[in-house]
Amino acid sequence: MLGGPLKILMVEDNRADAVLLRDMLLGVEPGGFELSWEDRMEKALGRLRNERFDAVLLDLTLPDSQGLDTLGRVQEGAKEIPIIVVTGVEDEQLAMSAIRQGAQDYLVKGAADARGIARAIRYAVDRKKNEDQIQSLARFPSEDPSPVMRIDDKGFLLYANSACHIVLKHWQVQIGQRAPDAYGAEIAECVRTGRSKILELSCAGRDISFVAAPIKNAAYVNLYGRDVTDLKALQKREKDIVAAVTAARTASDTIKAMNVGVILFLMDGLVISVNPAFEAMTGYANADLSGKPAALLVDSLVAAADREGMRGLLNLAGRGKTSRSAFIRFLTPAGKEISTLVDVSFVKDHDRRPSAMVVAIKDITELKQAEDALRQSQASLAEAQRIAHVGNWEWNIVADELKWSDEIYRIFGLAPHSFGAAYDAFLKSVHPDDRAGFREAMKQTLAEDRPFSLDHRIMLPDGTEKVVHAQAELFRDRAGQPVRMLGIVQDITERKQEEKRKGILSNLLTLFARKTSRKEYLDSVVELLRHASGCKCVGIRVVQPDGQMPYESHVGFSRAFLTKENGIRLHKDVCACIRVAAGEPDSQEMPLLTTKGSFHCSNSIDFMNGLSGKKRARYRGHCAHYGFASLGIVSIRYRNQFMGLIHVADKQPGLLSKELVEFVEMTAPLIGEALCRFHMEETLRESESKYRTLVEKLPAVTYMAALNKRFGTLFVSSQIESMLGFTPQEVVAQPDFWLRQIHPEDRDRVLAVITEACAGRQHFTVEYRVQAKKGHEVWIRDDGAVVLDEQGRPLFIQGVAMDVTEQKKAQLAIEAYQSELRSLSSSLTLAEERARRQLAEALHDSVGQVLALTLLKLGLLGQEISGKAAKATLAEIRSLFNDAIRQTRTLCFELSPPILYELGLEAAIEWLGEQFRRHHGFRFVFKGTTKPHSFDESLNVLLFQSVRELLMNVVKHSRATRVEVSSRLSDGHLILRIADNGKGFDLRNGRDDRTRNNSIGLFSVRERMRHIGGTFDVESAPGCGAVVTLRAPVKIPLTAKAEPAAGGIGKKIIRRKKLSVQRRG
C-alpha cells in the first residue's frame, strides 16, 4: 500500500453486486482500496476524464453499452489505466477476446473470492506498469522518461538522455568525459564478459538501479535506469515491521500490565495494539484498532480541537524524537470527552534504534475539571472585580511587601506588576491633599484596631485624578503585633461624579421651583455650571423671534466680547455656534463633536491655526481672538424645539473633556424645559389678562365644566349674577348646581346632547330653560366644546351661555303668527274655491241656461225666415251663441271643475294635466293608485290647487318637455310627486325663480302643507329637472268601495265618459 490506497472505479449497473464487491475488497484489505461506483457508461467516462484512477472494474453489460464495445469505449477514455472485466457471463471466447483487446484480467462474478479479486487488481496494476516500462524502453532513448546512457569500455560517456541530468550532475561529467572510475571498471568488465550487470546509484535523494546491457560486437554498454527509491523504502519498512513486531512482543506483557492507557504504533504510524487500560478508558477494543493507520485513529478518537496537536506529536515521534507531554481529549463511542495527558516513548531494536512508539495516555478528566473550575472561579473573580472596579491587596507589614490584584493596577493606571510593592511607594500615588488623612487613618487602625475605611483621591501617571474607597482588616500574631493586612480598593470616581451630577441636576430643579423670573433662574444656572465645569466663563444664549441669540445670562466674559457676540443671528452668520444650533457641522468639526452634536475643543487656538484660509473663514474667530482655548458649545432644546446655547470657555487649554461636555448636555433639556415653562407662564399671564378683559366685556356667561357625570362647574364669569341672580361662588361651590337649575323637562335632553358631544369631542349647541334665583325661567343658548391637551386627551368643557329669553318669546310669537297665517292661507284657498264653485254654478245655471234657450229660439226663428240674407245673418248669430255657450262651459270647468267633487282628486289631477298638455304642448303622464279613494273635500281642494300652482311654475320656468305626476298611499299619507325634465336649478344657491322667497305660489303651497301637517320637498340640480313631493296625512273611510283597478286605458275611458256627461249638462 505504499503511496496510499489504490483508487478503483467500479462500472456496474447492479447496485447489490457493486456493494458486495466493495465490502469484499474493504474486508480483505482495510484501507487498501478507495472505491468509486458508477452505473452508466457516460457517467464513468466523465469520471475518467476528470479524475485519476489506478484501475477499472468493468461490467460488459450496461444499460447504455454492451459487450466488447464497452471495453473499447473505456480504453479510449483511459488508455493508461488497467481494466479488469467482471461479468456474470461464463464465456471463454468472450474472455479471450477481452484479453486480446487489452483487458488485464477477466473475472466471473461469484467464481472469485475476495483475496483473489484483490490479488487480480494488484497484478493488473503491476502488469500495466511493466508494460509501460517495456514500451518506454522500446521507444527511442531520448523519449524514455527513465535514465538511458551509453558508456564505452574506456569509461567515456557516449550518450545520455534528458532523464540522466541528475546522474550527470551527481557525477559532475558531461557527454564525452570519463565516468567515475568505479563505474568505468564495472563497464569494462561487462564489455569483456558480455554479461549484464546491475549497478546501483544514489543521487539527489533518489536510488536509481541501472541495468548494464553490453551490445554484441560493440565496445560499449547501454545502461537502462529505473528509480527504485520507493521499492527500497518498502523493503526497509518490511524489515522495520519485522523488527518492531519482534520488539513489541517482548514489551507486550509489560504494556498490558500498565494502569494507564497505551497505544503501540509502528514507526510509520500503523497501530500494533492497545492495552486493556486504554480499552476500559475509551470503550474501544483492541480488535477494532489494530492495523489501523494513525491518521484514521486520530480522526476517529481525538476531539476535533486537539487533532492537530496529536498529529504533530505522532509526526515528531515518527522521526524518532520525543516531545513534552501533551493535553489531548479523546472521544468515547458515545461522544463523551475524556481529558488525558499523552507521553511518547520508544521500543528500540538491537541497534538501539526506535522500532515502535509507545503512546501512554493518562486519564486526567477529574483533575482537568477541577483545574477548569478553579480557573473559571479565578476568571469570574477577576471579571467581577473588573465590573465592580474592585481590586484586592495584601500588605505584609513585617517585610513591607504589598501585593495587588490586576484590577488595582488598572485602577491606578499601571501595567501589572510594574509597581514598587512597598507602602511608601503606594503613598506616592495618594493625592497630596489626602496623604495626611490616609496616614492618620492607617495609624489609628494599626494602634487601636479601628476598622480601616476611607474615601480618598489618587493621582495616575498621566496626571488624572480618581476617587477610590479603601477598606481593610488587620491581622496580628500571637504576641499581638500587626503582621498582615488584607483589603480592597474600589474605584468610585464615576459614582462620585454621578453624585455630583445628580446634585447639580437637583439644584437645577430646585432653582426652577425657587426663582420667580427667567433672568434670575438663568443667572443661578450660569453660576452652577461655572462651578461644575471649573471654567471661568459660562454664558447662556436665548434665541429671539428674529433669530438673534444674545447672552441673556453670563459670567466671566468681557464687555468687548459680549458686544461682538450678542448680535449673532441664526441663518445669517457663519460660525460653530450656528452650526451646532442647526445640527449641520462642517467636516473639520466632526472629530470634536459628541454623539448628540455638541462641540468641544481642548485648544481652539491651535485648532484655528491648523485650518486653511477657506475653512478659517467659516468661523467668526472671536473666541480664539480673546484667548479662549478650552471651548464647549451645547444646544438647548425642548421637544426638538431649539431654545438657545450654553457656552463654556476658559483661557487654560485642556479644561473641557468630552465627558464634561456630555454632562453639560444632560443639563440642557432641564434648562430648555425651564425656559419653555417660563415662556409659557409669561404667555399664560398675558393670555389670562386678555381673556379676563374679554370675558368681563362679553354680554354672556363664560364657563368651564368638569368631564364627569354631573358636569360640575369649575369656573363661571361674573355675568352669571346679572343673568340668574347667583354669584359665581354659589355656582362653583356645588358640583351639581347647574344640573339642578335646568328645567326638569329639558334636563335629560341637555345631558344627552352634551354627553354625545363629549364622546365625539365635538362642539355642541343646545337651548334650554334654567330657573333663576327669584324663581322665574330664563331661556339659555349654550355653545360649548371639549378642550384637549397636546396629546389629544380631553381636559374639560368650555363654553358660552347667552340669555335668549326675549328671542325665545319673539320666536314663539312668530311661530304663532305663522300658524295663524297658514290657517288663513288654507281658509283663503278654501274660500276661494267655494267662491269659484258658486260662480261656476251661477254661470251654468243662469247665463248658461239663458244662452241655451236663446239658441233654441233662434232655431225656431230660422224655420220661419225665408230670405237668404236673413238666414245668413241668423246662422252667424247662432254661431256666436254656440261660442258663448262653449266658453261659458269652459269657464265653469276652470273656475271649479265638477270632476274634483264627483270623481275625486286623482281624476281631477289627470284632467288638469290634459288641459295643460293641450294648452302648453308638453307631454303629461299620470300614475295613480290601483283603487279610487275618497278623501276629505277640503284636502282635495288644497292638494288640487297646490298641483295646479306647481304645474304653472313648470310652464313659467322649467322649459320642460315632459311632466309626470304620481299619486300613492304610504303609512296613512297621500304622496304626490310632480317631476319634470326641465333645466333644473341649484338648491344651494337658489338660482331659480321657483325657490326664491318672493314666489308667492310656492310659499302658499308650503304653508298649506304645513297647515294640514304635511311636508313640501324639492329636489333639483342644474340640467337634471326638478322633483316636488307633497306628503299629506289622510283618513281613508272604512266604507269606501273600491272599484276594479282598470288601470291605464280603461280607467281613462270611464273618467272621460263621466266627464262628457258633465259637459253635456
Q: What is the pTM of this model?
A: 0.35
Judgement on whether residues 196 and 300 belong to the same structural domain of the protein: no
Which tens digit of pLDDT belongs to each residue from 48-93? 888 888 899 888 888 888 888 888 888 887 878 888 888 765 666 7
What angle in degrees, to the nearest 10, is found between the helix axes of 15-28 and 114-138? 80
**Residues 399 and 434 both lie in one domain:** yes
At 541 the pLDDT is 94
Q: What single-letter DSSP state applies at residue 40?
A: S
* End position of a domain, from candidates 199, 227, 255: 227
In the block, which residue shows the cell 472596579? 389
Residue 889 resides in a domain: no
pLDDT for residue 770: 93
The answer to whether residues 752 and 798 belong to one domain is yes
Residue 38 lies in a domain: yes
Do the Cβ atoms of 396 and 386 come closer than 8 Å? Answer: no
In this structure, of 389-398, 606-615, 770-779, 838-847, the range with the lowest mean pLDDT score is 838-847
pLDDT, residue 241, reads 60
Q: Name which of 220, 224, 221, 222 is nearest 210 in CA terms.
A: 224
Residue 593, C-alpha cell as written in the block? 463633536
- Is the pLDDT score of 763 beyond 70? yes
Domain edge (last residue) among 433, 462, 491: 491
CATH number at residue 566: 3.30.450.40
Domain span holding position 214: 141-227
Q: Are residues 754 and 846 located together in one domain of the fold?
A: no
pLDDT band at 632 (very low <50, low <70, confident <90, very high): very high
Has residue 512 got a pLDDT over 70?
Answer: no
Tens-digit pLDDT profile for residues 584-621? 999 999 999 999 999 999 999 999 999 998 999 999 98
In a domain, residue 369? The reply is no
In residues, how long is the chain?
A: 1065
- Return phi, psi of residue 926, to 5°: -120, 135
Percent of the chain scored above 90 by pLDDT? 15
**Section 14-26 average pLDDT:** 80
Which ranges of 389-538 would DSSP assign to H, the alpha helix? 406-411, 423-427, 435-448, 493-514, 518-533
pLDDT of residue 1061: 34
Range picked from 116-120, 228-232, 361-365 for highest mean pLDDT = 361-365
More confident position, 1004 or 946: 946
Same domain, 486 and 509: no
**What average pLDDT is seen over the chain?**
81
- Statement to judge: residues 650 and 792 lie in one domain: no
The answer to whether residue 965 scores a pLDDT higher than 80 is yes
Q: Residue 1044: which pLDDT band, with cuts at 50, 70 and 90?
A: very low
CATH of the domain at 185: 3.30.450.20
Whether residue 1 lies inside any domain: the answer is no
585 contacts 595 by C-beta, under 8 angstroms: no
Give the pLDDT confidence score for residue 322 in this predicted structure: 75
Residue 244 pLDDT greater than 70, yes or no: no
3-state helix, strand, coil in the chain (%, to 5): 50, 25, 25
Residue 718 and residue 845 in one domain: no
Query: Is the Cβ–Cβ distance between 209 and 197 less than 8 Å?
Result: no
pLDDT tens digits, 799-810? 889 888 888 888
Q: Is 752 found in the same domain as 670? A: no
Percentage of the residues of the chain whose pLDDT score is greater than 70 = 84
Phi and psi torsions of 773, nearest 5°: -60, -30
What is the band of 1047 on the pLDDT scale with cuts at 50, 70, 90? very low
Which of 227, 246, 267 represents a domain boundary (last residue)? Answer: 227
In a domain, 506, yes or no: yes
Selection from 79-88, 257-266, 466-475 with the highest mean pLDDT: 466-475
**Are residues 48 and 93 located together in one domain of the fold?**
yes
**CATH number of the CATH domain containing 948:** 3.30.565.10
Do 934 and 1036 share a structural domain?
A: yes
Contacting residues for 486 by C-beta, under 8 A, at least 6 apart? 392, 393, 394, 472, 473, 475
Can you tell me the distance from the alpha carbon of 316 to that of 406, in angstroms, rounded to the nearest whole number?
39
pLDDT of residue 937: 75
Q: Is residue 336 part of a domain?
A: yes
Dump pLDDT digits (tens) for 527-572.
Answer: 988 988 889 999 999 999 899 999 999 999 999 999 999 989 988 8
pLDDT reading at 240 higher than 80: no
Angle at 625 between CA 624 and CA 627, to 5 degrees: 60
Higher pLDDT, 589 or 94: 589
Q: Is residue 871 part of a domain?
A: yes
Query: For 371-378, what is the mean pLDDT?
Result: 71
The answer to the question of residue 694 being in a domain is no
Same domain, 872 and 744: no
Residues 716 and 864 in one domain: no
> How many domains, the chain?
8
For every residue of 685-697, DSSP letters joined together read HHHHHHHHHHHHH
Q: At what angle do helices 493-514 and 518-533 cross, to 10 degrees?
A: 170
Task: Give the span between the Cα atoms of 538 and 553, in whole angstroms.
Answer: 9
